[in-house]
Amino acid sequence: MKDLISMADLSLEDIYEILDLAAEIKEKRRQGKVIDHLRNKSLGMIFEKSSTRTRVSFEVGMNDLGGHAIYLNSNDIQIGRGETVEDTAKVLSRYLHGIIARVYSHDTLVKLSENASIPVINALSDEEHPCQVLADLMTIMEYKNRVSGMKFVWVGDGNNVCNSLMLACAIVGMEIVVACPKGYEPDEKYVIKTKELGGILTVTDNPLEASKNADVLYTDVWVSMGDEEEEEKRLKDFKNFQINEELIAVSKPDVLVMHCLPAHRGLEISAGAIDGPHSVVFDQAENRLHAQKAVLLKLLAGE
């Protein structure tokens, strides 16, 4: 495995290896033990969009591992002035040991990966967000001691995070129900891929029905980066797709409430849900650091 572009790049074995390594890394960090296996290695971080968690967790992760991270805002590098993605990939491969990229078009990641001789990691595209989903699986493992044999319910936009979660659920063996307004269903390509991977997937427009007996309730913003022009319409279309006390009441008593963040209280999630006893959203955010360090060790140090 050279790159992490799609969740489907990972086998079940890869996922368990990453989760085990991430748990070990987390414990060692708690004990103050250093794992500096990326000494003298550099990571380029291309960002076409905003980020708090992804940028900071990768930068701190590289620093913890003894390496160095370079933030490359796409407006500040020559890509912003028309240099091709292909040439950028070839040039950066001569300096760096790995690239992460947060892009509008998933195709940009594919081009980076095809033209770079170093690992390329998806830091979010319009289609997928695999680094987020590895941290989510790690969080589920911490609370439930397993990631299979449960009911995972997505409430909201069938977009990038949802696509990666569908694939992940299929790989690890977790049933997934996607509740989204009509017109916001996940792309057919991802529905087919999920089913090919053996996934048990239901797509519905009834969030209350979907949430019955859920082990996990998960949501994301109603207006993703790049969808800002549709904001007014989306706020109307999504108004019944909020994770709140009503959905929690029909879920399992020990349901986990999850959100990739950033969150908007009163829109996709109620304040009571995100700040209440079922919420694990800040564990998810923390686990970005540990899970990504495991990915970096696997791809950049061959561990």
Q: Binding site for L-ornithine: residue ranges? A: 160, 220, 224-225
Q: Would you call 260 a catalytic residue per the annotation?
A: yes
Pairwise CA distance, residues 83 & 87, whole Å: 7
Find the shortest distance in angstroms from Cβ 168 to ligand NVA. Answer: 15
Total of chain residues touching ligand NVA, rule CB under 6 A:
9
Distance between CA atoms of residues 49 and 55, nearest Å:
11
SS3 of 117-183: the string is CCCEEECCCCCCCHHHHHHHHHHHHHHHCCCCCCEEEEECCCCHHHHHHHHHHHHHCCEEEEECCCC
Binding partner selected for residue 159 from ligand CP, ligand NVA, none, CB under the kind-specific 5 to 8 Å limit: ligand NVA
Q: How far is the CB of 182 from ligand CP (least distance, A)?
A: 26
The option from ligand NVA, ligand CP, none interacting with 175 (CB < 5 to 8 A, set by class) reads: none
> CA torsion angle for 275, 183, 190, 295 (degrees, to 10)?
-30
- 35 burial (CB, 10 Å; 0-12 / 13-18 / 19+) is middle
Strand order in the sheet with 201-204: 201-204, 175-179, 151-155, 216-219, 256-259
Q: Kindly tell me which of 115 and 125 has the beta carbon lying closer to ligand NVA.
A: 125
Work out the angle at residue 61's Cα, subtended by the Cα atoms of residues 6 and 76, and round it to the nearest 5 degrees: 75
Binding site members = 51-54, 78, 102, 129-132, 160, 220, 224-225, 260-261, 288
Show the site string, 244-263: x = touches ligand NVA by CB under 6 A, - = not.
Answer: ----------------x---
**Distances from the Cα of 285 to the Cαs of 46, 119, 136, 197, 289, in angstroms?**
20, 23, 9, 27, 8
- Region of 6-14, 217-225, 248-256, 276-284 interacting with ligand NVA (CB under 6 A): 217-225
Contact range with ligand NVA by CB under 6 A, out of 76-84, 165-173, 219-227, 294-302: 219-227
Cβ 171 vs Cβ 11: under 8 Å: yes
Residue 129 designated active-site? yes
Contact of residue 92 among ligand CP, ligand NVA, none (CB under 5-8 Å per partner type): none
- Out of ligand CP, ligand NVA, none, which partner does residue 52 contact, by CB within 5 to 8 A per kind? ligand CP
Of 228, 229, 283, 235, residue with least CA distance to 260: 283
161 binds ligand NVA (CB under 6 A): yes
- Give min distance, CB of 260 to ligand CP, in A: 4
| Cα atoms in the 13 Å half-sphere on the side-chain side of 277 | 4
- Concerning whether 132 is annotated as a catalytic residue, the answer is yes
- Does the annotation count 259 as an active-site position? no
| CB closer to ligand CP out of 89 and 258 | 258
160 binds, among ligand CP, ligand NVA, none (CB under 5 to 8 A by kind): ligand NVA
φ, ψ (nearest 5 deg) of residue 70:
-120, 120
Residue numbers at the binding site for ligand CP (CB under 6 A):
51-54, 124, 132, 260-261
Least distance between ligand NVA and beta carbon 135 (Å): 11
Residues assigned a catalytic role? 102, 129, 132, 220, 260, 288
